[in-house]
Amino acid sequence: MSHDPDCLFCKIVAGQIPSRKAYEDELVLAFHDIHPWAPVHVLIVPKQHIAMMSELGDEHVQLLGHMSVLAPKLMRDLGVTNGFRTVINTGPDGGQEVYHLHMHVMGGPRPWLKG
């Protein structure tokens, strides 16, 4: 599995930087965002370093499917009952800040409004 020693999320996956874990398995780590936009805001991060969604290929179908199926399970487990939002920012024009593929999963009252 690839790893970038300078990547913030690779360091979190490796346990070098602490996080508040919500879920972990052999493919992904999910943890609570330190600057949440919603009452419940977790990031689902592949353990494999993939810089952005535009670098995905056919070999990543299982990984993205796994992340997509995990999102509603996490929201249910965290008490979100009235809907949630998923976002994957890609590249500079897509608002990506950390160049390690990650899915934001946000739930609670109007999670997309930041005021």
Residues classed as catalytic: 102
- Sign, CA torsion 15/35/63/83: positive
What DSSP string runs through 48-115?
Answer: S----GGG--GGGHHHHHHHHHHHHHHHHHTT--S-EEEE---TGGGT--SSS--EEEEESSSTT---
